[in-house]
């Protein structure tokens, strides 16, 4: 086998694994918001299609109006520059939320999109180079309530955090198709923070 090819593979292995176990996430705060008022979230039709195809659409359907629906906006910090991972290293960065203590982490409570300074972390920055220097404060959203969806894959059960608040856990993933695949530690959003946020929202 070509020595140059082996050297290239070795370089990617070293760079990719250098991050393994190093991605640390720290929960900061939460806020109850209305989906309708969040301009950083793509409207339902466009967002759903882009999530399916895995990239921004060059010719997107007409944007629909965002519905009124309560969301939890979760702010967090990391020890790794996620903007650099997304734009320079072409990683897909995602946040996965689930109820603490459950074994199935594949039924995320909301979209896995991560945001920075009002923009989702796409692989292509929409207006040239991302700002630098930049903070390592990010956020994502998940649903306050959800109806049961037994036929979905995997099946999703109903919940309502306003009526029955509970601890929510989340972690991050950052992956490149053949270079690296990183998973962070699991952070906890305390039940008491949800109770307090709903009380202040009234």
For 14-26, the pLDDT digits (tens) are: 344 444 458 999 9
Q: What is the pLDDT of residue 54?
A: 38
Name the residue range of residue 34's domain.
3-201
Residue 175 pLDDT exceeds 90: no
User: Into how many domains does the chain fold?
Assistant: 1
Residue 2 pLDDT exceeds 80: no
pLDDT digits (tens, 9 = 90+) for 103-156: 765 568 998 999 988 888 875 555 556 555 567 899 999 999 988 877 777 778
pLDDT category of residue 199 using cuts at 50, 70 and 90:
very high
Q: Could you please report the per-residue DSSP string of the chain?
A: --HHHHHHHHHHHHHHHTTTTT--EEEEEEEEEEGGG-TTSPPHHHHHHHHHHTS--SSPPPPPPPPP-EEEEEEEEESS-HHHHHHTS--EEEEEEEETT-S--SS-SS----EETTEE--SS-TTSSPPSS---EEEEEEESEE--BTTSSS-B--EETTTS---EEEEEEEE-SSS-EEE---EEE-HHHHHHHHHHH-
Average pLDDT over all residues of the chain: 77
């Amino acid at each position: 086998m070509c020595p140059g090819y082996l050297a290239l593979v070795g370089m990617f292995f070293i760079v990719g694994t250098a991050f393994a176990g190093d991605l640390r996430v720290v929960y900061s705060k939460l806020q109850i918001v209305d989906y309708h008022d969040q301009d950083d979230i793509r409207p339902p039709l466009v967002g759903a299609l882009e999530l399916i195809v895995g990239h921004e659409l060059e010719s997107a359907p007409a944007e629909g109006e965002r519905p009124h629906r309560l969301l939890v906006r979760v702010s967090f910090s990391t020890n790794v520059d996620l903007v650099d991972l997304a734009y320079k290293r072409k990683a897909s960065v995602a946040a996965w939320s689930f109820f603490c203590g459950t074994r199935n982490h594949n039924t995320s409570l909301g979209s896995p999109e991560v945001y920075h300074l009002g923009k989702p972390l796409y692989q292509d920055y929409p207006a040239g180079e991302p700002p630098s220097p930049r903070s390592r404060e990010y956020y994502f959203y998940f649903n306050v309530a959800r109806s049961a969806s037994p036929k979905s894959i995997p099946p999703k059960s109903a919940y309502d955090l306003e009526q029955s608040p509970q601890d929510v856990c989340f972690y991050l993933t950052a992956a490149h198709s053949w270079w690296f695949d990183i998973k962070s530690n699991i952070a906890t959003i305390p039940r008491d923070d949800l109770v307090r946020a709903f009380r202040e929202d009234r």
